[in-house]
Amino acid sequence: MGKIKIILALIVLVFSVSCVAQNKSNYTKNKSAIKSFNRAVEYMERGQKSLAINEVNKAINKDPGFLEAYLLKAEIHDFWGETAEAFENYAKVFEIDPAYDPALSFKLAINSYQLGKYTIAKEYIYAFYETADVAKYQRYDTDRLRRYIYFADSAYQNPVNFEPISVGDGVNTDFDEYWPSLSVDENVLVFTRQIPLNPDNPSRSQESMHEDLFVSFRNPETGKYDNAIPMPGTVNTRLNEGAQCVSADGKTVVITACNRPGGVGSCDLYIMFLRNGTWTEPQNLFTVNSASWDSNPSLSADGKTLYFSSGRSGGNGKTDIWMAKIDKDGIASEPAVNLGGEINTEYEELSPFIHPDGKTLYFASNGFPGMGDFDLYYSRLGDDGKWGTPVNVGYPINTNGEERSLIVNAKGDIAMFASSGGQRDLDIYYFEIPEEVKPVTVTYVKGYVYDVKTNERLEASCEMLDI
């Protein structure tokens, strides 16, 4: 179920099915209702959801007080991921008999948390702890659920300022746009768009779509981003080009590409450079990639440190955030380093973004107290070289849904992210970042180096020293 990995698999239902199948229900004597109930059980066991729902509805119509029928209906909806419908029917069971089973309060707490009904979730988790022998349920991580519910309710009651604005029709379309990244001057916006493999095929099925990289340039007169174009060069293929990042100067892009010939793992990181006005062929970062899944790159402002998510061995959870020191060609001379237990949990950490200040890391996780599924967090690097305890960026930036891929401009006052909150699908939005979530403000110097004799513009690198 996302953030709370609980395996409360039909605890109440198993008891109910065995009893009702033997015509021993404590809540109905209607034999016709019991027959409909048993047929519903058979259909569910065969995976025939519609027929199961139809029969269980018949049972309820024949006896509106048939508790086990509501319970079965709730479990059917729960099994198929229909949380709102499951909650409605679990609540009906609770209404008929609040003392039926403490596990019922636990299930209602889970469902209401998933639905963003945090105050109600608090009531049900409180009821569970008041009535249950909690020790019997510890394998279901009940204490963790309680922490999450209390955190979410508190965050919900104390919202942060949040007014997202679309980046505009030059970027957002009827297709999905996500994974934004910005150059330090904010003039170059690179993002991922999901488009049809065949433009003449209107289908939006997963098999008929693929991910390509697009770029949009900010219009100096209007301040808005112009119509996006496919990333120049050969980066886009009929395979997926997904999460990416652009360097501070806009001349280096690290992308994620999956299942490419000659790849190291299922998804690998590739690097490409803008040289003489042309993008180079994507080069596999062989010294960084693993035999597992590597994705979600983020380059430090100086281009020397690459942060990314990986499912490689040696981590704390399913996916962790790692970092690798790379040279100007993207080659790492030493193995990637796990950011450690302060950042990485036994669950999943994704989409790191290292701010140009070099000390503020934003990322997504489902392993810390939050609002529902993946939430966004930030952590600051201390003077001792250790990352601080991650802080949830707050509600309503985080919701009971899934939030990922937050980036923050160099000034530290504007953030971008992808959301389905608009009238279309996933679109890219920006918003003023709350004061407590802001990084250190960073500025930049932009200029050109010329040959003193020929006045020809030269390729050069500059280093600013603290004198």
Alpha-carbon torsion angle 138, 141, 143, 149, nearest 10: -150
Torsion over CA of 433, 358, 403 and 223, rounded to 10 degrees?
A: 50
Nearest to 424 by CA among 81, 168, 162, 216: 168
Give kind and range of the element (H or E) at residue 257: strand 252-258
What was the pLDDT predicted at 326?
96
Mean pLDDT of the chain: 88
The string of pLDDT tens digits covering residues 165-207 is 999 999 999 899 999 999 889 999 999 999 888 777 766 776 7
In this prediction, residue 214 has a pLDDT band, given cuts at 50, 70 and 90, of very high
pLDDT beyond 90 at 313: yes
Beta-bridged to residue 76, according to DSSP, are none
Query: What is the token pair recorded at 133?
Result: 């022998």
Res 463 pLDDT > 90 = no
- What the chain holds in terms of domains, given with CATH numbers, is 11-157 (1.25.40.10), 165-437 (2.120.10.30)
Of 357, 352, 344, 263, nearest to 302 by C-alpha is 357
Please list, in sequence order, all residues whose beta carbon lies within 8 angstroms of the beta carbon of residue 429, skipping any fewer than 6 positions away.
Answer: 164, 165, 166, 167, 416, 417, 418, 419, 421, 422
Check whether 124 has a pLDDT greater than 60.
Answer: yes
d(C-alpha 25, C-alpha 12), whole Å? 13
Query: How far apart (Å, rounded) are the C-alpha atoms in residues 381 and 138?
Result: 35
Q: Are 427 and 405 a contacting pair, CB within 8 Å?
A: no
Average pLDDT for 88-101: 93
Q: What is the pTM of this model?
A: 0.87
**Amino acid identity, residue 387?**
W
Q: What is the pLDDT of residues 253-283, one digit of tens each?
A: 999 999 888 999 999 999 999 988 889 999 9
